[in-house]
Structure 1
Amino acid sequence: MMMRILDRFEEILISVLMALAVALIFVAVVHRFSLGFAVDVVKWARVHDMPALQAAARSTFAWINSFKLTWAQEACIYLFVWMAKFGAAYGVRIGIHVGVDLLVERLTGTAKKAMTIIAISGGILFTGIVAWIGAEFVHHTWKGGQISADLEIKMWIVYLAVPAGSALMCFRFVQALWLYLRTGEIVQHDIGAVEGIEDDIGDFPLGGQR
């Protein structure tokens, strides 16, 4: 039950972060181009001696400019940082980061098993170290009281993505290792598969007739 909640939380968090980042980028781009368009209209109205249109364009420019989005770029960067860290953990879970390379595939028996265990254990060790170092860095940042330039939020909240995401990634590697030790299977992701869509083509991947 707890694992299902964790899996669902992971998926929802990544989806929400991605949606927020895309929406924010869209709004920022529209905002910037709207300002440019209003300036162009002011210039055009001035050249063609249209004071009413010029005044309207100036008012529009002032209204749009009142919405300050100088923080948007910084916010997008932080959203993508969080998304990337938890996305990496999700990748381990579905098998994108857990695989056997060409060398290991050529091995058999005990040698192949040993190399696979070493490879997955390396992922556990690396992500565990990153999580530990990241946690210490977050602690020092929290004590220092550093804040971001535009959003003016505590930077330890931003940097928390590193230990949190790395810890979850480490846990997913542990899961992968435990699965391999119990069943001999490695979680692998089929890059040609689309979640939620069943394959009605059978053995005809190019869409041929049955």
Structure 2
Amino acid sequence: MGLRLIHRLEENILAILLVFMTFLVFAEVVMRFVFNAGIAWAQEVTLYTAAWFVLFGASYGVKVGAHIGVDVVVKLLPAPLRRWVTLTALAICLVYCALFLLGAYDYISLMYDIGIEMEDVALPKWVALMILPIGFMLLVVRFLELAWKVWRGETEGFHLADEGEESMQLAQELKAEQASAISQTVAADATKDAQEPKS
């Protein structure tokens, strides 16, 4: 129940960020080109909103398997070896996240100590940058969830988006539709010929 609530909250935050960013850019374009004015803070807020959206979306992409990856060689490996390769890759991902978390902590601490505000909005810059530790902590949680599933044998890999496989599936569906349309045309022509009186 708790995890489902967290997942739903994450999806809602992503939707709100995307709608807000789209609306803000649309409003800025209308103000600039229709009324020959602008929203002074729109560009900076859009930039930070995009950063929040991307870093929230990175962990969500791990959850739903939306990231693109090159795993041709890994798929050729036997299942036990594939499992260890996946666990090694997850360990590397966790180290990468840990390095970013350390860097984010140092950077945000510096921004907090200096007391710099955003350029166009009266908000401390460290508040806007809090997405760095939040986003990478969410990634750590997703990678740990995936590692646990791989360790228990519930899954074998990252479940990356496979554009090649999707393209082949679309091509096969299109070919099947074309074959069906041709057979229907041939059947209709045969029926028409059979119904026409012979002279």
Shift of residue 184, structure 1, vs aligned partner: 4.4
Residue type of the alignment partner of 1:130: F
Normalising by structure 2, we get a TM-score of: 0.76
Closer, same or farther: CA 93–151 of 1 in aligned 2, 3 Å: same
Shift of residue 151, structure 1, vs aligned partner: 1.1
Question: What is the aligned partner in structure 1 of residue 121 from structure 2?
Answer: 151
Shift of residue 129, structure 1, vs aligned partner: 2.1
Aligned to 2:146, the other structure's residue is in SS state helix
Closer, same or farther: CA 99–35 of 1 in aligned 2, 3 Å: closer
8 Å CA contact retained: 1:93, 1:187: no
- 2:173 is the counterpart of 1:205: yes
8 Å CA contact retained: 2:68, 2:161: no
Stretches of structure 1 that go unaligned for 5 or more consecutive residues are: 37-64, 193-203
Aligned to 2:84, the other structure's residue is in SS state helix
Question: What is the aligned partner in structure 1 of residue 85 from structure 2?
Answer: 115
Closer, same or farther: CA 33–161 of 1 in aligned 2, 3 Å: same
Considering only aligned residues, what root-mean-square deviation do their CA atoms show, in Å?
2.4
| Among 114, 134, 159, the residue aligned to 1:188 | 159
Question: What is the aligned partner in structure 2 of residue 129 from structure 1?
Answer: 99
Identity %: 26
| Runs ≥4 residues deviating over 6 A | none
Shift of residue 133, structure 1, vs aligned partner: 2.0
Aligned to 2:34, the other structure's residue is in SS state helix
Normalising by structure 1, we get a TM-score of: 0.72
Stretches of structure 2 that go unaligned for 5 or more consecutive residues are: 164-171, 181-199
Shift of residue 152, structure 1, vs aligned partner: 2.5
How many residue pairs get matched?
Answer: 170
Question: What is the aligned partner in structure 1 of residue 72 from structure 2?
Answer: 102
Matches of 1:96 and 1:131 in 2, distance apart?
23
Matches of 2:8 and 2:160 in 1, distance apart?
18
Shift of residue 172, structure 1, vs aligned partner: 0.3
Give runs of aligned pairs for residues 47-126 of structure 1, distance below 5 A. 65=37, 69-97=39-67, 101-126=71-96
